[in-house]
Amino acid sequence: MSLTLSESRGRAALIADVDYQVSLTLADDADTFESTSIVRFSCSRPGTSSFLELADGADVTVTLNGKQLPPTSYDGRRITLPDLTGDNVALVCARLPYVTNGDGMHRFVDPVDGETYVSAYCGMDNAQRVFACFDQPDLKAPITLDVSADECWTVLASGRRVEPHIPGRWRFAPTPPIPTALFVVCLGPWHSTGFEHSGRRFGWHARQSLAKELTRDSEELRRVTIACWDHYASVFREPYAFDDYHQVFVPGLNWGALETPGCVTYRDEMLPAGRISDQERQRRATVIAHEMAHMWFGNLVTMRWFDDAWLSESFADYMGFLVADRAAGFSETWVDFDAAFLPMAYAADERRSTHPVAPEPAAVTDVDAAYGNFDSLSYAKGNAVVRQLVTWLGEEDFLAGVNGYLTRHRFGTASLTDFVSALSDASGRDVAGWVDAWLRTTGFDTLTVTRDADIPVLSRTGCRPHRLRVTSYDVTDGALRPASTRTVDVGDDPVWLPEGRDRVVVPNSHADTFARLRLDRHSFTAVTAHLSAIPDPKTRAVLWTALGDLVRRAELDPCDYLDLVSRHLPGEGHSAIFEAALERARRVVARYLAADRVASALDILAVACRDALNAAPAPAVALAAVRGLASTSRDAALLGAWLAEDRTDTGIALDPRLRWDVLRRLAEIGDPAAPALVEAERRRDPSIAGELGTARASAALPDPAAKASAWNAMFSGEPSNRLFAETAQGFWSAEQHDLLAPYVECYLAEAPALAARRGQSFSLVVGHAFPTIPLGADALAMLDRALSGEVPTVLRRAWEDRRDDLALAVAVRRRFG
């Protein structure tokens, strides 16, 4: 029973002045926990009825205004509240189940030391799995929390802890008004490090088994937190509205992170064992800045309904990359964004599931439909569109409008109209017209360069205004050297670029706008010849994306693209571009090549990674190349020697992730020693990473019995969200097409029931487990038949996206053979 827009609006018109008192009793040796909610609220039409949400409760008792309601008032998901008065008090007591799928009160037992960690993950509409509530974003309310648990645990939550301390019991001060989705509590024997800044207490927390890693990174985490905090304090007029600021690396979170106010949660994969690469450090910094931006965008001011999720996510994504760059000292964040994230947004915007960055409310019919919109369009495209908006308005007017918006709607809810009004007031410009062109429409324009009497001409196919930089290059000594860069406005009329006569011209060279790029023949020839020698990594990222787009649109032979990778990847000096280009090439191999060509194509990628290592690159690129070689090489002797020596032949020490990558590859290529090596590594690494690595490597074995065992573990058992995902990743191998082909139909037949049973977020995990082997028209027909049946909403969205990708892959193969 996913809450609908109509129900949400009806309830918001009826209910107001909500206040929650939540009491939780949690133990680490039970399957359920006790939840008690006292919900106070007013009703604008006494005598009418409404409902609270509470999912999967047992032993539920409900008292409304002093009168106990009959058991029939609760149907397993909703509590009917009849005959409301002007002011009401509902008391709900229940036992609720712990979960392992990341939707609700998630419980995790650390295999290293047996310690238990419990955290409430309430994103979207999962607060109802923790306490009875009005689970929609526009019914914000203060929440007062009381927790009883193991007295040896540490309990973290949004509110400030209230003294005096009673062993085994924690009380927290009421929060300011927040949506129920942002409720959080994290319990367990956390290892913690803290500091004070600006008169406030800050803390970082992780599992005890990650204490070494938290100590390793604590100074950087402190530095990044303070830098981001001070930056936001300088640009936002509204002060931080909550209590202390805790940040917790938690197990099993479905989101990359969740902006729960005053107690932000992050996937604990962001605190990797052994070593953290420069690329991982930079991405973590952008997430820290992203989640902190949510304290204003989303927490202080909240969307009324999920059509305006972009008001939280697009802005936080933009601010995350911007502030990690400007304030936290990571100067290459935008290169990473342009290389790795923008390509996903372009692909998403051409699928049937595309939606405007800011869709109309009626297009987001219920919460399950909204879940699918937390995608590359709301994040990456939204980020790019905000960046174009700042380019168009100017940063000063943009920030003035943002501050006006935050002040007008502090502690309340807002919509696109409210934001446009604030920007228009601050800038005096027709922001509404710009918004209609950019935020209310789907798709993207194409920027094309042609030549007229040797003078480049830039034109637009589409309807949006663009402000962007164009760079012209001279070909000098085998490289492209920038000759000039200027900013142009592109609309209905072509833009002449006389400075580009006889030169190579690259429009949108700094990714200022969101548009497809098509070069003239002269520029394309030069770019494909000298791509890795272009000095600016931003421009290289733009061009790698454009080249990948040509493959996807069947305008460039996949084999020609792999040739470009083999020629230019070894000379790529930026680790983010290296990783993104290699990952794109791996997708090209799995999607667009026939099954009998996959192995030789992966050999090409392995040679490119080896050539990169032979060029003695910077350490970050060397690590990216080693990881690439570990996932593509067929040289079992080389990979086995790496494991035995615990370092590569180029001297790079193997961290736990790299060891498991090597083992997965040895298993995938059928090395006879792989099963024994996997078992030995499982004993050596008793962590959750070791459990997941074992599952991934075991599932990769090209053996019918191993595949059957992995399949049963995924579809016949009750694996956690992480275990299912890692097993599926090992199971599907593009090189094992003949062995895996029969499982395609099995997957399409069994996935809907599994998704329906395991819930919203797990449905997406199941959708991400779609076969990653070369598939053709027969698989497309099977998928169409499956989609004609009953498929849960979240899984259907994932399958429809894969269906569109598969149709493009079939078209590419038909054209190029």
Start-end of H helices in 394-484:
395-408, 416-427, 431-438
What mean pLDDT is predicted for residues 757-785?
96
Task: Give per-residue pLDDT as tens, 37-88.
Answer: 999 999 999 999 999 999 999 999 999 999 999 999 999 999 999 999 999 9
Q: In what order do the strands lie in the sheet with 154-157?
A: 104-109, 116-121, 185-188, 154-157
Residue 668: what residue type? E
d(CA 224, CA 288): 8
What percent of the chain stands above pLDDT 70? 100
Q: Which stretch of DSSP H or E encloses residue 609? A: helix 598-614
What mean pLDDT is predicted for residues 292-296?
98
User: Does the structure show a pLDDT above 80 at 199?
Assistant: yes
Q: How confident is the model at residue 159 (pLDDT cuts 50, 70, 90)?
A: confident
* C-alpha pair distances (Å), 68 with each of 61, 71, 93, 130, 687: 7, 9, 11, 21, 48
State the burial class of residue 740 (Cβ atoms within 10 Å of its Cβ: 0-12, 13-18, 19+): buried
Task: Give per-residue pLDDT as tens, 511-540.
Answer: 999 999 999 999 999 999 999 999 999 999
Q: Which residues contact 644 (CB under 8 A, 6 or more apart)?
A: none
Best CA proximity match to 328, nearest among 199, 220, 247 = 220
- 702: number of CA atoms within 13 Å, CB side? 15
Whether 519 contacts 555, CB under 8 Å = no
User: Does the structure show a pLDDT above 90 at 19?
Assistant: yes
Query: Please, what's the largest Cα pairwise distance for the chain?
Result: 86
Q: How confident is the model at residue 17 (pLDDT cuts 50, 70, 90)?
A: very high
**Coil, strand or helix: which one is 143?**
strand
Task: Give per-residue pLDDT as tens, 349-380.
Answer: 999 999 999 999 999 999 999 999 999 999 99
User: Does the structure show a pLDDT above 90 at 694?
Assistant: yes
Cα first-last separation, the chain: 47
Q: Which stretch of DSSP H or E encloses residue 369? A: helix 367-372
Task: Give per-residue pLDDT as tens, 389-420.
Answer: 999 999 999 999 999 999 999 999 999 999 99
User: Does the structure show a pLDDT above 80 at 1?
Assistant: no
User: Does the structure show a pLDDT above 90 at 478?
Assistant: no
d(CA 519, CA 222): 45
User: Does the structure show a pLDDT above 90 at 611?
Assistant: yes
Give residue 28's pLDDT: 79
What mean pLDDT is predicted for residues 477-499?
95
Q: How confident is the model at residue 184 (pLDDT cuts 50, 70, 90)?
A: very high
What mean pLDDT is predicted for residues 670-679?
98
φ/ψ of residue 53, rounded to 5: -100, 140
Kindly report the pTM of this predicted structure: 0.97
* C-alpha pair distances (Å), 321 with each of 181, 383, 632, 638: 24, 9, 31, 38
Best CA proximity match to 361, nearest among 431, 437, 305, 417 = 305
Give residue 109's pLDDT: 96
Give residue 27's pLDDT: 87
User: Does the structure show a pLDDT above 90 at 29?
Assistant: no
Give residue 163's pLDDT: 79
Q: How confident is the model at residue 30 (pLDDT cuts 50, 70, 90)?
A: confident
339's tokens? 């290389």
d(CA 33, CA 146): 13
Give residue 165's pLDDT: 77
What mean pLDDT is predicted for residues 717-738?
96
Which residue has 């082909």 as its token pair? 741
User: Does the structure show a pLDDT above 80 at 164?
Assistant: no
Mean pLDDT, the chain, integer: 96
Task: Give per-residue pLDDT as tens, 640-653.
Answer: 999 999 999 999 99
State the burial class of residue 507 (Cβ atoms within 10 Å of its Cβ: 0-12, 13-18, 19+): buried
State the burial class of residue 811 (Cβ atoms within 10 Å of its Cβ: 0-12, 13-18, 19+): middle
Q: How confident is the model at residue 292 (pLDDT cuts 50, 70, 90)?
A: very high
